[in-house]
């Protein structure tokens, strides 16, 4: 009998996760590479947010995106240069762009990172966003993740791409935690994919 609450709790959690996944909008992905001529050989990577402010790059939100990217990179064969990141074979740089798309067609940027110099930011563990969630329900949050993988030795780029998603303001998919996972997963789906083609990942 003691095991019943655990089973029930697990089932409830699974249902909640399934519900979140079902409500997640599709992701548009575009990638560029030259893998047909020079095959991509996985190696050790060091992930760096492409952001000049070190306070921002070490924020909880950026760490969330870094973790999501590392998980997907490892899934396709790359490894983390944990002991000596400065000697990694590849450097992975990424940027995050998030904005509010209003019903009237205007686009307002949203600050990214706890240490951001503009706007305010949510509380908790990086799952809030610095906007007023009491606005019109038709407003949407557009989030774009851009990633570039380059050889550390010579700086040659082996692959770059971007993934973007639009979600209703205040929905789970508009929050950085879920967006990071969804965007990273879509960007590395069937890696390296077809170069120069935009696909939609459910």
Q: What residues contact residue 143 under an 8 Å CB cut-off, 6+ apart?
A: 96, 97, 98, 164, 165, 166, 167, 174, 176, 179, 183
| CA separation for the pair 132, 127 (Å, rounded) | 14
Half-sphere exposure of 197 toward its Cβ, with a 13 Å CA cutoff? 9
| CA separation for the pair 42, 52 (Å, rounded) | 27
> What tens-digit pLDDT sequence spans the chain (202 residues)?
444 344 344 433 444 444 444 478 999 999 999 999 999 999 999 999 986 554 555 688 889 999 999 999 999 999 999 999 999 999 999 999 999 998 776 777 765 543 332 333 233 333 334 445 554 456 899 999 999 999 999 999 999 999 999 999 889 988 888 999 999 999 999 999 999 999 999 9
Q: How many C-beta atoms surround the C-beta of residue 131 within 10 A?
A: 22
Which domains occur in the chain, in start order? Answer: 25-201 (3.30.160)
| CA separation for the pair 178, 129 (Å, rounded) | 12
Bridge partners of 80, per DSSP, are 45
């Amino acid at each position: 009998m003691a095991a019943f609450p655990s089973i029930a709790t697990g089932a409830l959690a699974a249902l909640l996760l399934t519900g979140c996944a079902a409500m997640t909008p599709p992701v548009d992905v575009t990638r560029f590479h030259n893998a047909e001529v020079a095959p991509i050989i996985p190696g050790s990577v060091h992930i760096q947010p492409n952001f000049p402010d070190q306070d921002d790059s070490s924020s909880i939100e950026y760490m969330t995106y870094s973790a999501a990217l590392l998980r997907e990179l490892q899934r396709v064969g790359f490894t983390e240069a944990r002991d000596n990141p400065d000697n990694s074979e590849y450097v992975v740089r990424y940027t995050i762009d998030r904005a509010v798309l209003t019903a009237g067609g205007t686009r307002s940027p949203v600050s990214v990172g706890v240490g951001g110099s503009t706007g305010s930011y949510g509380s908790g563990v990086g799952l809030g966003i610095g906007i007023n969630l009491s606005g019109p329900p038709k407003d949407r949050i557009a989030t774009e993740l851009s990633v570039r993988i380059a050889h550390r030795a010579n700086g040659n780029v082996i692959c770059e791409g971007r993934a973007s998603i639009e979600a209703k303001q205040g929905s789970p998919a508009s929050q950085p935690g879920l967006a990071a996972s969804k965007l990273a997963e879509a960007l590395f789906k069937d890696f390296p994919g077809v170069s120069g083609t935009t696909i939609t990942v459910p």
